[in-house]
């Protein structure tokens, strides 16, 4: 899938955050968007994930050269993981199963997919644990598993290791590397860690003055 962002603008309370921002995401691999706090990275991801509307400009997703309709089918091919994942007040397993359940999948399929996603992020031994009792690093991995299980074609990760300790940061970076190897999703993530951007990114982008520079 290709994402073509053209001439996006977004203003909050008369402050222009995105200002004629354009970029084409047309390669497989991991894009890393950097830039100072408050420059608009999260806003950009929310708009690209179609969770928020821009003031002007366009977001277009393409399959080969066909532009995709802006509907629930397209939205289900995109997933955004926030820096601090909120968890449902239940087990780790049920947290990850939720998105598949509402899509109406059979429980044996759900079980297989959820267990695979939890193994993938190293939470296999914690399936029955209450999600609220996980550490912050484990919670972040749970958030990633919950996104991965939906098999998104574009996975947006907003500061996936913000306020996460070094050990979990390494685990999350290796999860990002493994996802790339599997090649199922294009990953578009933000970070303010330049070294992380070099370690995990195939393409480094910087947001400045409301635009993306490469
Ligand atoms: N819903 C909102 N209402 C008002 N201001 C917002 C809203 N969302 C973001 N902002 C403001 O827009 C600016 C950019 O925020 P954000 O996209 O979160 O930046 P970044 O992720 O790069 O730190 C910030 O000044 C933030 O306070
Ligand atoms: Mg942000």
Distance CA 142, CA 60 (A): 30
Residue 40: CB within 6 Å of ligand 1?
yes
Residue 36: CB within 6 Å of ligand 1?
no
Percent of the chain with pLDDT over 70: 100
Determine the Cα angle at 184 with ends 36 and 72, to 5°.
Answer: 80
Tell me which fold the domain 2-213 belongs to: Rossmann fold (3.40.50)
Distance CA 137, CA 150 (A): 21
Residue 21: CB within 6 Å of ligand 1?
no
105-145: pLDDT as tens digits? 999 999 999 999 999 999 999 999 999 999 999 999 999 99
Which of 34, 42, 188, 193 should be mutated for ligand 1, with most atoms under 8 A from CB?
Answer: 42
- The structural domains of the chain, with segments of one domain joined by +, span 2-213
- Nearest protein CA to atom 8 of ligand 1, as residue: 43
Contacts of 125 (CB under 8 A, 6+ apart): none
6-25: pLDDT as tens digits? 999 999 999 999 999 999 99
Which of 43, 157, 158, 188 should be mutated for ligand 1, with most atoms under 8 A from CB?
Answer: 43
Distance CA 113, CA 97 (A): 8
Which of 18, 40, 190 should be mutated for ligand 1, with most atoms under 8 A from CB?
Answer: 40
Ligand nearest to the CA of 43: 1
Chain centroid, CA 161 distance in Å:
12
Contact 118, 93 (CB under 8 A): yes
30-79: pLDDT as tens digits? 999 999 999 999 999 999 999 999 999 999 999 988 999 999 999 999 99
Residue 14: CB within 6 Å of ligand 1?
no
Ligand nearest to the CA of 206: 1
- Bridge-based pairing state of the strands 78-81 and 154-158: parallel
182 exposure class (CB count in 10 Å sphere: 0-12, 13-18, 19+): exposed
User: Global pTM?
Assistant: 0.95
Question: What is the number of alpha carbons within 13 Å of residue 77 lying toward its C-beta?
Answer: 16
Distance CA 197, CA 159 (A): 11
CA 197, 153, 114, 43 dihedral sign is positive
Distance 122 CA to ligand 1 centre (A): 32
Determine the Cα angle at 46 with ends 40 and 47, to 5°.
Answer: 90
Residue 43: CB within 6 Å of ligand 1?
yes
Residue 43 CA: nearest ligand 1 atom is 17
Residue 161: CB within 6 Å of ligand 1?
no
pLDDT band at 214 (very low <50, low <70, confident <90, very high): confident
């Amino acid at each position: 899938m290709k994402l073509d962002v053209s001439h996006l603008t977004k203003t909050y309370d008369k402050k222009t955050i995105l200002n004629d921002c354009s970029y084409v995401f047309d390669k497989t691999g991991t894009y890393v968007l950097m830039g100072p706090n408050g420059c608009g990275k999260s806003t950009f991801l929310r708009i690209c994930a179609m969770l928020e509307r821009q003031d002007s400009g366009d977001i277009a997703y393409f399959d080969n050269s066909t532009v995709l309709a802006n509907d629930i089918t397209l939205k289900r091919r995109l997933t955004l993981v926030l820096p601090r994942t909120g968890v449902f007040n239940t087990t780790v397993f049920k947290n990850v199963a939720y998105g598949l359940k509402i899509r109406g999948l059979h429980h044996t399929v759900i079980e297989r997919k959820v267990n695979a996603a939890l193994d993938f992020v190293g939470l296999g031994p914690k399936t029955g644990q209450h999600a609220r009792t996980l550490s912050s690093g484990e919670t972040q991995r749970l958030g990633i598993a919950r996104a991965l299980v939906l098999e998104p074609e574009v996975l947006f990760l907003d500061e996936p290791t913000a306020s996460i300790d070094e050990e979990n940061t390494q685990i999350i970076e290796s999860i990002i590397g493994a996802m790339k190897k599997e090649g199922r999703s294009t990953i578009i993530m933000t970070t303010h860690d330049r070294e992380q951007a070099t370690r995990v990114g195939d393409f480094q982008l910087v947001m400045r003055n409301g635009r993306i520079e490469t």
